[in-house]
């Protein structure tokens, strides 16, 4: 591990020197690639330097203890040595996690699609609750959200809504949300106070660049139609909505959120690339001995991952058996604690695999 860390630091120093070179700074594309790699290596190098400083501190204390010290100084040095050794052990574990292979999609933007499942209008209303939750979470994380397509209901819910999340590390924070979200609550229309159970499906797709997924224009069938939805002056006046059929796979995507047909077409193509890229990755992962079900955060979308229980004000993630007893706070976008726990569990699984 130490050899790998030393090599990583040398690489980091080399990139640092390159970034200070005016000639490279003038080459925008090359500079952007180097800066991205520099940012990815920074946490590892900073932790390694902290580890090295702690190790040097331990050596210094040991040398001090070999000399002549009065009892009080020896006790203080021994206590400091104990603390430094505990810190070194913790740093070693953190470095092991930081050196694990990163998900190649972690830095990408994402497309999130929420669909109402079992439960009719109640499921559609909860789809709206989840959309609001992800919007508030994105604000806290510094991400930007833009709706790509939606099918709202008269009561303010969504049968389906797809939105783009832009920002550094968006996929690394949203990837754990794929799956079935179950809600248990008493609907407003329920006169006898009975608790109903409804489900909503969330799909999280890493945004794909054109170079990552090639689409033959001959394989596409485009249709335009008038937008429909909750209203607005432009609704039903112009054929701005776009529907694209990818003939080889039968995949259909739609976008009607923009007034401009060209903007809707651009968003629809972005969504199509993400779907085809996700399918390609899933096909590749099926060939690997350990498929996605072995990983904490990116399981099958048919898997029930989380339950939101309103009467008891709790939310439980079934993958890591974690419960938070503050549902209102969670639904107001404070889901970072749960996502951090899922990321830690995923790292632990990877570490176990590396050591096996």
CATH value at residue 239: 3.30.160.20
17 and 123 belong to one structural domain: no
Q: How many helical (H) and strand (E) elements, i.e. helices and strands, does the chain have?
A: 9, 11
197 and 342 belong to one structural domain: yes
Helix runs in 201-335, H state only: 261-286, 327-331
Give the number of C-alpha atoms closer than 13 A to the C-alpha of residue 105, restricted to the C-beta side: 21
139 and 161 belong to one structural domain: yes
Question: Is residue 82 domain-resident?
Answer: yes
What gap in Å lies between CA 225 and CA 228, rounded to an integer? 9
What is the pLDDT at residue 212?
Answer: 67
What is the pLDDT at residue 87?
Answer: 93
What is the pLDDT at residue 228?
Answer: 60
Do residues 308 and 181 make contact, with C-beta atoms less than 8 angstroms apart?
yes
What is the pLDDT at residue 66?
Answer: 87
Give the number of C-alpha atoms closer than 13 A to the C-alpha of residue 194, restricted to the C-beta side: 6
Q: Tokens at residue 60, please?
A: 């210094």
Mean of the pLDDT values across residues 39-59? Answer: 92
Residue of 225, 229, 222, 252 whose CA lies nearest to 241 = 225
Number of domains in the chain: 3
What is the pLDDT at residue 330?
Answer: 97
Question: Is residue 143 domain-resident?
Answer: yes
Query: In this predicted model, what pLDDT tens digit does every residue of 254-297 receive, in sequence order?
Result: 888 777 888 888 888 888 888 888 887 777 655 443 433 444 44
Mean of the pLDDT values across residues 314-322? Answer: 95
174 and 129 belong to one structural domain: yes
Mean of the pLDDT values across residues 175-185? Answer: 94
What is the pLDDT at residue 227?
Answer: 62
What gap in Å lies between CA 181 and CA 174, rounded to an integer? 14
Per-residue pLDDT band at 182 (split at 50, 70, 90) = very high
176 and 229 belong to one structural domain: no
73 and 38 belong to one structural domain: yes
135 and 277 belong to one structural domain: no
Per-residue pLDDT band at 229 (split at 50, 70, 90) = low
Q: Is the pLDDT of residue 16 over 70?
A: yes
- Domain of 302: which CATH number? 3.30.70.1660
228 and 337 belong to one structural domain: no
What gap in Å lies between CA 353 and CA 295, rounded to an integer? 10
What is the pLDDT at residue 178?
Answer: 92
Q: Is the pLDDT of residue 75 over 80?
A: yes
Tell me if residue 11 falls in helix, strand or coil: helix
221 and 278 belong to one structural domain: yes
Q: Which of 33-42, 312-321, 337-346 has the highest mean pLDDT?
A: 312-321
Task: Read off the pTM.
Answer: 0.68
Question: Is residue 298 domain-resident?
Answer: yes
192 and 250 belong to one structural domain: no
156 and 201 belong to one structural domain: yes
Question: Is residue 103 domain-resident?
Answer: no
72 and 171 belong to one structural domain: no
Question: Is residue 104 domain-resident?
Answer: no
Q: Is the pLDDT of residue 1 over 90?
A: no
Residue of 119, 124, 115, 54 whose CA lies nearest to 89 = 54
Which stretch of 163-167, 233-237, 250-254 has the lowest confidence by average pLDDT? 233-237
What gap in Å lies between CA 322 and CA 296, rounded to an integer? 13
Question: Is residue 28 domain-resident?
Answer: yes
What is the pLDDT at residue 355?
Answer: 57
Mean of the pLDDT values across residues 299-325? Answer: 87
Domain endpoint, select from 64, 98, 132: 98
Per-residue pLDDT band at 224 (split at 50, 70, 90) = confident
Q: Is the pLDDT of residue 347 over 90?
A: no
Query: In this predicted model, what pLDDT tens digit does every residue of 153-168 receive, in sequence order?
Result: 988 899 999 999 999 8
Domain endpoint, select from 98, 132, 164: 98
Q: Is the pLDDT of residue 234 over 50?
A: no
What is the pLDDT at residue 239?
Answer: 67
Question: Is residue 105 domain-resident?
Answer: no
Domain endpoint, select from 237, 257, 285: 285
Question: Domain residues for 238?
Answer: 217-285
Question: Is residue 88 domain-resident?
Answer: yes
């Amino acid at each position: 591990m130490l050899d790998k860390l030393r090599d990583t630091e040398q690489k980091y120093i080399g990139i640092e020197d390159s970034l200070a070179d005016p000639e490279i700074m003038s080459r925008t594309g090359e500079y952007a690639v180097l800066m991205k790699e520099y940012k990815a290596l920074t946490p590892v190098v900073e932790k390694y330097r902290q580890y090295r400083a702690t190790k040097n501190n331990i050596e210094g204390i040991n040398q001090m203890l070999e000399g002549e010290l009065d009892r009080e100084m020896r006790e203080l040095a021994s206590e400091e040595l104990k603390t430094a050794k505990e810190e070194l052990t913790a740093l070693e574990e953190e470095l092991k996690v930081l050196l694990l292979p990163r998900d190649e999609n972690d830095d990408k933007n994402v497309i999130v699609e929420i669909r109402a499942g079992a439960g009719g209008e109640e499921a559609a209303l909860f789809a709206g609750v989840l959309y609001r939750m992800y919007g508030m979470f994105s604000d806290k994380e510094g991400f930007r959200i833009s709706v790509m397509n939606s099918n709202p209901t008269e009561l303010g819910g969504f049968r389906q809504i797809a939105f783009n999340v832009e920002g550094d590390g968006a996929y690394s924070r949203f990837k754990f949300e794929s799956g079935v979200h179950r809600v248990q609550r008493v609907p407003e229309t329920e006169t006898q106070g009975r608790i109903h159970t409804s489900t909503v499906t969330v799909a999280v797709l890493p945004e794909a660049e054109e170079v990552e997924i090639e689409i033959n224009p001959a394989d596409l069938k485009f249709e335009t139609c008038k937008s429909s939805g909750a209203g607005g002056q432009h609704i039903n006046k112009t054929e701005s909505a776009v529907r694209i059929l990818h003939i080889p796979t039968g995949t259909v995507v739609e976008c009607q959120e923009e007034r401009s047909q060209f903007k809707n077409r651009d968003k629809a193509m972005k969504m199509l690339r993400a779907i085809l890229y996700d399918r390609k990755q899933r096909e590749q992962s099926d060939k690997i001995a350990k498929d996605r079900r072995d990983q904490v955060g990116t399981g099958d979308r048919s898997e029930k991952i989380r339950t939101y229980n309103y009467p008891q004000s709790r939310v439980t993630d079934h993958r890591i058996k974690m419960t938070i007893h503050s549902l209102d706070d969670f639904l107001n976008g404070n889901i970072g604690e749960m996502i951090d726990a899922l990321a830690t569990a995923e790292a632990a699984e990877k570490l176990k695999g590396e050591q096996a």
